[in-house]
Amino acid sequence: MVKSTYQPPPGALLPLSPGWTEHKAPTGHTYYYNAETKESTYQRPGPAPSPINPSMSSYLQHQTVPQVNLSDPAVANAFMAQYVQQQPHTHGQRGGFGPRGRGGFQPRPRPQPRDKPRTKVAIPGCDPWILVYTKYERRFAYNPDKKTSYWRIPEKLMPAILELDQARIRQKAEGKTGEASPEKETSATPAAAPQQPEPEAAQHDYDSSEYEEVEVTDDEDDVGGGLDQDGNPSKRQRTEDPANDGPAEFTEADIAAQLAAMGADYGDMEMGEGEGEGESWEEGDEGLPLSDEDARELFKDLLNDFNINPYSPWEKLVEEGKVFDDARYTVLHTTKARREVWEEWSRAKIQELKERRAKQEKKDPRIPYMALLQEKATPKLYWPEFRRKYKRDEPMKDPKLSDKDREKWYRDHINRLKLPQATLKADLKKLLESVPLSALNNQTVASHLPPQVAGDIRYISLDPKVRDPFIAAYVQGLGPQPEAGEVAEEDEAVKKAREERCKRERALQERERAVAEEKRRQEKKLQYERARLRDEERELERAMQVSKRGLHSQLVEGRAEPGS
């Protein structure tokens, strides 16, 4: 769904998320209320909470007209995203517009989904359960109250879903138009509620056999009340539509998380033929190789690997969206959990950097002195003048440096300032190249360069505005810190940390493999299921033909009787 360019057709209202109902305020404003979470908003809560994004900005929620500069693509994306993502209130609804869910602009186009929920139907008699069909025609059962979902249909839902399927088969058998007789429909799906009404503007060939249609009615308050906000008594659902990626209830990340969370556990989609394990897989996560701790650590690895600046605000991570496509992003299932881990990580990381810097500066007194030179030295001052002027500065007093050295570096530095930029750049490059990968690698943070670099005169010759991007580019092109060479030097803790990381990653890989395999199996089954469906249809058709013929022959007989 959520391409940043997706523009909802004007006037087309998106479906309300489950749990939300529409109300009119005394002032005439329409607002929406969620009885479950006790949240309310003027902004229509559309497709559901995404685990990716914190709740959409309260600022944007009230705007009916662009208040942003849409000529800026990033801003335009963010602006459009409010229509598409329609982030309702997942967490942190209130609390100023501070960090918790009041982040304002979130200019991030969502990553392209793979599979995603497309339509859903309430499961008759099993309120509040709904059956969700995905783009790839898989389906899963979803409980909006508990926010749990199962690829493998829980046994208690099976009879009702079987009935739904039979209704659909009957309906198909009665003609592809989908205009089944109302009695039949209601009897088959008494509680069915549409959650994905078609945008009015969309033109689709409903008669095409490519679309499987489920006629549903809307007569249920707890599920349906929040869903069919248009007040249309009945809507049509489409289970397949390659053209229009309209928004649906679940995001890709949700699906991914569900897939991941359920791991090898989902899979039985054979209707009515479940293995009858009933409750044993109730909460999904059991029996998985990834522990909670592993998930947290994997998320931290992710932050480390993407060189996330621990000083940056959380909103930046979300706005940039660099990490979303990494599988480790979804090992934690909620934004809240991710934010917590991020918080923990950033604190620890900052602490670590501080300590490392303090150690470095102690080790190498040249670093603060070079920094002073870079900042204050000027060809206008001779050494004695400079020394007098800054004699109170720490680096000028540091007993670990001799005055002779200080003077030499000062003169060198001033002389170097006269050199052409190209020479200075070449010198800096030479300096960087002289540093071994163990000290300077793609994990190096710009503000924490090794002393070999930060304490060298060549480091301070260039203006930081030129130098820093140059170094950043160089560092990015480097490989990772070599693992083998320094093992001996590493203390136990580091070694252990690395081993644990390997273990976590193996577990993640295993899980992904299981998920992929499950997906393949799923697709096979689906094909089988479809083939079976076609067979059943054919049989039904045949049966009906027979009964027509039977009726015909009865009529013939009846006509024949009076004559005999």
Partner 1 sequence: MPAIRPASKRKAPPDGFSDIEEDLLIFGNKMKDAQNTPTDNIPKHQAQWPIFQISHQRSRYVYELYYEKEAISRPLYEWLLKNGYADALLIAKWKKQGYEKLCCLRCIQTKETNFNSTCVCRVPRAQLKEDQDVQCVGCGCRGCASTD
**Contact residues: partner 1, CB under 8 A:** 23, 25, 31, 33, 38, 40-42, 58-59, 62-63, 65-69, 72, 75, 93-99, 102-105, 309-313, 315-316, 346-347, 350-351, 353-354, 375, 446-447
- Please list the residues that pair with 130 across neighbouring strands: 122, 142
Q: How many other C-beta atoms can be found within 10 angstroms of the C-beta atom of residue 508? A: 20
Task: CB nearer to partner 1: give 105 or 151.
Answer: 105
Residue listed under structure tokens 């930081």 = 464
Task: CB nearer to partner 1: give 63 or 177.
Answer: 63
Tell the smallest beta-carbon distance from residue 445 to partner 1 (Å): 9
**Amino acid (one-letter) located at 292:** D
Task: CB nearer to partner 1: give 446 or 555.
Answer: 446
Task: CB nearer to partner 1: give 37 or 452.
Answer: 37
Tell the smallest beta-carbon distance from residue 263 to partner 1 (Å): 35
Task: CB nearer to partner 1: give 211 or 314.
Answer: 314
Please tell me the total number of residues recorded for the chain in this structure. Answer: 564
Six-digit token pair at 73?
């693509």
Tell the smallest beta-carbon distance from residue 42 to partner 1 (Å): 6
Residue 378, CA distances (Å) to 45, 180, 366, 385, 421 in order: 60, 87, 18, 11, 17
494-499-500-506 Cα dihedral, nearest 10 degrees = 150
Residue 386, judged by CB atoms within 10 A of its CB (0-12, 13-18, 19+), counts as buried
Q: How many other C-beta atoms can be found within 10 angstroms of the C-beta atom of residue 13? A: 14
Q: How far apart are the first and last CA of the chain?
A: 69
Q: How far apart are CA 330 and CA 334, in angstroms?
A: 8
Task: CB nearer to partner 1: give 67 or 438.
Answer: 67
Task: CB nearer to partner 1: give 23 or 542.
Answer: 23
For 149, list phi and psi in degrees, rounded to 5: -145, 150
Q: How far apart are CA 267 and CA 259, in angstroms?
A: 10
- Ramachandran assignment for 292, one of left (phi > 0), alpha (psi -120 to 50 degrees), beta (any other): alpha
Tell the smallest beta-carbon distance from residue 72 to partner 1 (Å): 7
Q: How far apart are CA 291 and CA 327, in angstroms?
A: 16
- Please list the residues that pair with 30 across neighbouring strands: 24
Tell the smallest beta-carbon distance from residue 233 to partner 1 (Å): 25
- Please list the residues that pair with 32 across neighbouring strands: 22, 41
Tell the smallest beta-carbon distance from residue 97 to partner 1 (Å): 5
Give the closest residue to 261 by CA, choosing from 190, 332, 175.
Answer: 332
Task: CB nearer to partner 1: give 145 or 315.
Answer: 315
Q: Is the peptide bond before 128 cis (omega within 30 degrees of 0)?
A: yes
Tell the smallest beta-carbon distance from residue 313 to partner 1 (Å): 5
Tell the smallest beta-carbon distance from residue 103 to partner 1 (Å): 7
Judge contact between 441 and 307, C-beta under 8 A.
no
Judge contact between 363 and 454, C-beta under 8 A.
no
Tell the smallest beta-carbon distance from residue 36 to partner 1 (Å): 11
Tell the smallest beta-carbon distance from residue 48 to partner 1 (Å): 19
Give the CA diameter of the chain: 137
Task: CB nearer to partner 1: give 354 or 552.
Answer: 354
**Amino acid (one-letter) located at 167:** A
Residue 37, judged by CB atoms within 10 A of its CB (0-12, 13-18, 19+), counts as middle
Assign 65 to helix, strand or coil.
coil
Task: CB nearer to partner 1: give 95 or 125.
Answer: 95
Task: CB nearer to partner 1: give 105 or 150.
Answer: 105
Tell the smallest beta-carbon distance from residue 7 to partner 1 (Å): 18
Task: CB nearer to partner 1: give 106 or 258.
Answer: 106
Tell the smallest beta-carbon distance from residue 435 to partner 1 (Å): 19
484-490-491-493 Cα dihedral, nearest 10 degrees = -60
Tell the smallest beta-carbon distance from residue 378 to partner 1 (Å): 13
- Please list the residues that pair with 468 across neighbouring strands: none
Task: CB nearer to partner 1: give 20 or 129.
Answer: 20
